[in-house]
Structure 1
Amino acid sequence: MASIDPADYVEAQDDSKSLRFGDEKQQAKFELGVCMAIYKWEELETAVVNSWGGPKSSEKRDWISGITIDLFESKVVDVALIEETLLYAMFDEFETQVDNDSALYIADLIIKIYRQVSAQDYKLVDELYEKWQAKQNSKQAHDAVNINPDPQNPDSSDDESDNMEDVPALTEGVKNIDVAEPQGPIVDDDGFELVQKKGKQRRN
């Protein structure tokens, strides 16, 4: 990792009191870039996947993206401020103390994103978004493969437990299937009861 200057900052130009972009496309690209940077933070991803923040861990990650974007409503933002915001949010929302420089790296990335978007250069944002999309598609494909039973070990309890979360989706398509009602004895024209070959009859 290249050396990062925590004091590096961006400042609103002219008489602007905010770093917010006046152009809607620029602002949208910047907000997307911040979200992609936050999603790139592996420590936060681990916290979300393991629900360290409770059942709404994913929503908390989006909230962190929101408060980071809000920092740029002020006139000056530096790397250290973003890093501090990320670390406090992780501690408060996920009860996780991050003791490496990962938050510093994400903070520096967000400053880089701001500078490039300010120059109407969206290459970095688009690359981050494409990588995120590829990761999501790969994850969905992996989950789809896991739904299929293992032909070598169809009764594996591990497979059953791993796919429990997929049960509602799998059963969705069978809700409207008509189930035949049990039939009584079948009698022919001569009054003889016919033996039914399929199914088991319960004896009274």
Structure 2
Amino acid sequence: MATISIDPTEYVEVEQGTLQFPNTHQQAKFELGVCMAIYKWEELATAVENSWGGANSSEKRDWISGVIIDLFSENKAVDIQLIEETLLYAMVDEFDTEVDNDSALEIGALIMRFYKDVQLEKYDSIEELYKKWNDKKSLRVANSKVHIEEDPNNPDSSDDEEDDEEETEDIEMSNGDDMVIDKEEPKGPIVDDDGFELVQKKGRRR
């Protein structure tokens, strides 16, 4: 992450209520911006990828996004330093990791910038970051599929597919047999030419 000049005391404030946007569209855009900034934090991404927070490390990252969003939803003033401190505490508490660089400060500055952009109804930076994240996610999924398809000599996979097809055929055939049985079910008593009712045997069709 490039080094930039940041004023940790930079803040946003409202006279009444909280910093949450009354406009639901603006609030949704800001929350997306927070999530994208948190996902952009390389130190946290490394912690998640290596499961430093346990099996639910990914969920913990989403929880951290929620904590930052709550800072704005529950307070009338928030500065960059408060965001930074919240992120650092979360890393220690949830991932047992101390971050000793300015990366959390930079993420705090990015979130503050997003908030001010949303105030002006400017969403380009947030949407650009969201597009990059989506593209990266799609690429990972595509690479995963290619890796699976590149193994044509895997007999287990083809056997499974054949078994699935056989099971499907068996089901279809079974359904077909049931339909034949239903159609052959007598609709009423059978009477011979002399007017006598014939006794029908049950349970011996097969």
TM-score interval (norm. to shorter): 0.7 to 0.9
Structure number having the greater helix percentage:
2
Q: Deviations over 1:55-90 (max 9, x none)?
A: 111100000000000000201000000000001101
TM-superposed deviation, 1:172: 8.3
**Equivalence map 1:192-203=2 (5 Å):** none
Pick the aligned partner of 1:6 from 5, 8, 31. Answer: 8
Report the identity percentage. 56
Q: Deviations over 1:95-116 (max 9, x none)?
A: 1111111111100000000000
Partner of 2:57: 57
Partner of 1:46: 46
TM-superposed deviation, 1:18: 0.3
> Does 2:83 align with 1:97?
no
- Cα distance in 2 for residues equivalent to 1:139 and 1:79: 33
Partner of 1:197: none
- Cα distance in 2 for residues equivalent to 1:115 and 1:172: 55
**Equivalence map 1:1-204=2 (5 Å):** 1-12=3-14, 15-72=15-72, 73-149=74-150, 176-178=164-166
SS at structure 2 position matched to 1:32? helix
TM-superposed deviation, 1:171: 9.4
TM-superposed deviation, 1:175: 6.4
Q: Deviations over 1:102-149 (max 9, x none)?
A: 111100000000000001111111111111111101111221222244
Structure 1: which 4+ aligned runs deviate by more than 4 Å?
169-175
Partner of 1:186: none
- Cα distance in 2 for residues equivalent to 1:8 and 1:78: 5
TM-score of the pair, normalised by structure 1: 0.73
- Cα distance in 2 for residues equivalent to 1:65 and 1:141: 27
The one-letter code sitting in structure 2 at the alignment partner of 1:178 is: E
- Cα distance in 1 for residues equivalent to 2:9 and 2:140: 37
- Cα distance in 1 for residues equivalent to 2:29 and 2:78: 18
Partner of 1:190: none
Structure 2, unaligned runs of 5 or more: 168-206
Partner of 2:184: none
The one-letter code sitting in structure 2 at the alignment partner of 1:176 is: D
Q: 1:6–1:145: structure 2 CA closer, same or farther, 3 Å change rule? A: same
Structure 1, unaligned runs of 5 or more: 156-166, 180-204
Q: 1:174–1:111: structure 2 CA closer, same or farther, 3 Å change rule? A: farther
Superposed CA RMSD in Å reads: 2.6
SS at structure 1 position matched to 2:20? coil
Aligned residues: 164
